[in-house]
Amino acid sequence: MKRKLLLTITATAFICIGLAFTAVQQTKPWPVPSKDAKAVNPIKSNAESIAAGKALYTQHCASCHGKKGLGDGSKSAQLKTQPQDMSKSDLQEQTDGALYYKIVAGRDDMPSFKKKIPDTEDLWSVINYVRTFKK
């Protein structure tokens, strides 16, 4: 009986530690160099750019971030960190330059898209599309 209780307590402790570690990972700051954060999107946000961005987002981003950017894509449960909900103000308040930097640089489960989407105009169009996720 005591052994079973000890095993249960130990298992519970490991689960709690794992959840705490996951929470820390999800809230880990992602600093962006000032120069990059100040970069201005050279692509006008219009129907053409948003459509191009949507096509690329659907191909490269939706599997993790979800169709509507809510962080609920089909692969999200397999990741160590929960993909960010792109409709929330903490993402929407970031500069276009900061988002561009993060897409190009990547971190942890978020891969770099520098080679997957090599055209810089396409990357900026993805950001224009992501801006449509505002709540």
> Do 51 and 25 lie in a common domain?
no
Q: Give the percent of the chain with pLDDT over 90.
A: 77
pLDDT at 90: 93
User: Does residue 14 carry a pLDDT above 90?
Assistant: no
Q: How far apart are CA 131 and CA 40, in angstroms?
A: 14
> Do 64 and 127 lie in a common domain?
yes
Q: How far apart are CA 53 and CA 68, in angstroms?
A: 13
pLDDT at 89: 95
> Do 60 and 13 lie in a common domain?
no
Q: How far apart are CA 35 and CA 26, in angstroms?
A: 25
Q: How far apart are CA 78 and CA 50, in angstroms?
A: 29
Residue partners of 84: CB distance under 8 A and separation at least 6: 65, 71, 90, 91
> Do 62 and 114 lie in a common domain?
yes
The total of structural domains in the chain comes to 2
- CATH number assigned to the domain comprising residue 94: 1.10.760.10
How confident is residue 28, by pLDDT bands cut at 50, 70 and 90?
A: confident
User: Does residue 73 carry a pLDDT above 80?
Assistant: yes
> Do 12 and 54 lie in a common domain?
no
User: Does residue 23 carry a pLDDT above 80?
Assistant: no
> Do 8 and 46 lie in a common domain?
no
Tokens describing residue 124: 């900026």
> Do 87 and 97 lie in a common domain?
yes
> Do 4 and 48 lie in a common domain?
no
Q: Is 64 within 8 Å of 120 (Cβ atoms)?
A: no
DSSP 67: T
> Do 25 and 54 lie in a common domain?
no
> Do 5 and 49 lie in a common domain?
no
The average confidence (pLDDT) of the chain is: 87
Residue 107 β-bridge partners = 110
Q: Which of 26-35, 62-71, 110-119 has the lowest mean pLDDT?
A: 26-35
Range of the domain at 18: 1-29
pLDDT at 15: 58
